[in-house]
Amino acid sequence: MTKLLMLGGTEFVGRALTDDALDRGWDVTVFHRGRHAPPPGVRAVHGDRTAPGGLDALAAAGEWDLVVDTWSGAPTAVRDAARLLADRAGHYTYVSSRSVYAYPAPIGMAEDGPLVEGSPDADATAYAEDKAGGELAATAAFGGDRALLVRAGLIVGPYENVGRLPWWLNRTARGGPTLAPGPRDLALQYIDVRDLATWILDAARAGLGGPYNAVSPLGHATTGSLLEACAAVTGGRAELRWTDPEAIVEAGIEPWTELPMWLPPGELYDHMVGGDVSKALAAGLKCRPVEQTVADTWAWLQSLDGPPPHRPDRPAKGVDPEREAALLGL
């Protein structure tokens, strides 16, 4: 039986990984701070990676075949955990980000593109630099052949705690004239968290090492197919009003935050959503249809007793209804 250590494992990406591993019948240990309950069936070990002695409980917890680390703060936390586990685990996966690529990255850039500066010995600075430092820390401890660096892109799906797809679903559920940022056929690049989890565990079990862009092929979905799926699954009450990017920018509405998952065509769009994913596809990455991701996320939202979870370190998403109405001339 495969023994997996999840560093994290109770929220969004970590939760999807833990659920998938349990479905495989793996022996799963979750190391976390204890703020959220892990899924039933795991062994829980508590500790705070940011505190002195925070790894002490992990030091006496055993040995594992695989480790998956979803950390997105100070690289020193990855450094310390990876060093501790280097002789007690066979393989280390660090869930990184395509944000590690230096700006601007052209469409079609592969894993060998230039990166931002990062250090494994740095305290938390900025997201991209922290992820780059985490990659260096994992590789330094496990080597390039035992350290898998998963450069994920935009991640959505059930248990999302950032609020991008949940905002669109709640907005279309509200119905009425709805600002739909054009162009309608603009290609998107994202990944369903469950597809990401499945690929990570398969790749780790196969012993893959080095960096992989882990996101859907560009054009797997479009802004049109995404928002039309949202409108359909939430009852068809939303009237999508497709609006030129120039009008949205001129109105001062912020892409990505006020209109989640959307960027107008241009340099930033190319940088954020144009990654070459042929390496991951060749290694078995499969991406489900956008309609399934949307439907499952809506079903999850409806199952909640209150609002969806939201990470306190991420800003709230969505445009103010009055600003939306003003741009639509309502």
Phi, psi of 112 (to 5 degrees): -90, 10
> How confident is the model at residue 305, as a pLDDT?
92
User: pLDDT for 286-305, tens place per residue?
Assistant: 999 999 999 999 999 999 99
Q: By the 8 A CB rule, do 39 and 20 touch?
A: no
Which ranges in the chain belong to alpha helices (H)? 12-23, 56-59, 75-85, 127-142, 164-174, 193-205, 223-233, 245-250, 267-273, 278-282, 290-303, 321-327
Phi, psi of 250 (to 5 degrees): -65, -30
Rounded to an integer, the average pLDDT of 218-235 is: 97
CATH 3.40.50.720, applies to 3-154+192-214 = yes
> How confident is the model at residue 160, as a pLDDT?
96
CATH 3.90.25 residue spans of the chain: 162-187+220-272+289-327
Task: State the pLDDT confidence band at 96, using cuts at 50, 70 and 90.
Answer: very high
226: exposed, middle or buried (C-beta count within 10 Å: 0-12, 13-18, 19+)? buried
Q: Is 166 or 311 the better-scoring residue by pLDDT?
A: 166
Q: For residue 92, what is the enclosing H or E element?
A: strand 89-97
> How confident is the model at residue 307, as a pLDDT?
86
Q: Is 312 or 196 the better-scoring residue by pLDDT?
A: 196
Indicate the DSSP class of residue 316: -
Residues 6+ apart with CB under 8 A from 314: 161, 162, 163
Mean residue pLDDT of the chain comes to 96
Q: By the 8 A CB rule, do 67 and 230 touch?
A: no
Residue 157 DSSP SS3: coil
Task: State the pLDDT confidence band at 195, using cuts at 50, 70 and 90.
Answer: very high
Task: Please check the confidence at residue 57 and state whether its pLDDT lies above 90.
Answer: yes
Instruction: Report the C-alpha gap between 44 and 58 in whole angstroms.
Output: 10
User: pLDDT for 21-50, tens place per residue?
Assistant: 999 999 999 999 988 888 999 999 999 999
Rounded to an integer, the average pLDDT of 94-103 is: 98
Rounded to an integer, the average pLDDT of 64-92 is: 97
* CATH number for domain 162-187+220-272+289-327, candidates 1.10.8, 2.40.160, 3.30.365, 3.90.25: 3.90.25
> How confident is the model at residue 37, as a pLDDT?
86
Q: How many helices (H) and strands (E) does the chain have?
A: 12, 15
CATH 3.40.50.720 residue spans of the chain: 3-154+192-214
Q: In the beta sheet, which residues pair with residue 109?
A: none
> How confident is the model at residue 311, as a pLDDT?
80
Q: By the 8 A CB rule, do 73 and 133 touch?
A: no
Does the model's pTM come out above 0.85?
Answer: yes
> How confident is the model at residue 124, as a pLDDT?
86
> How confident is the model at residue 275, as a pLDDT?
95
Task: Please check the confidence at residue 313 and state whether its pLDDT lies above 90.
Answer: no
Q: What is the DSSP string of 40-61?
A: TTPEEEE--TTSTTTTHHHHTS
Instruction: Report the C-alpha gap between 78 and 64 in whole angstroms.
Output: 17
> How confident is the model at residue 13, as a pLDDT?
97
> How confident is the model at residue 136, as a pLDDT?
98
Task: Please check the confidence at residue 73 and state whether its pLDDT lies above 90.
Answer: yes
- Matching residue, tokens 């030129």: 244
Q: Determine which of 37-46, 89-98, 183-192 has the lowest per-residue pLDDT on average.
A: 37-46
> How confident is the model at residue 34, as a pLDDT?
84
> How confident is the model at residue 312, as a pLDDT?
81
> How confident is the model at residue 300, as a pLDDT?
98
Task: State the pLDDT confidence band at 248, using cuts at 50, 70 and 90.
Answer: very high
Rounded to an integer, the average pLDDT of 131-139 is: 98
Nearest to 212 by CA among 226, 199, 227, 225: 199
In the structure encoding, which two tokens stand for residue 198, read together? 């499945």
Count of Cβ atoms closer than 10 Å to residue 173 Cβ: 17
Instruction: Report the C-alpha gap between 11 and 7 in whole angstroms.
Output: 11
Percent of the chain with pLDDT strictly greater than 90 = 92
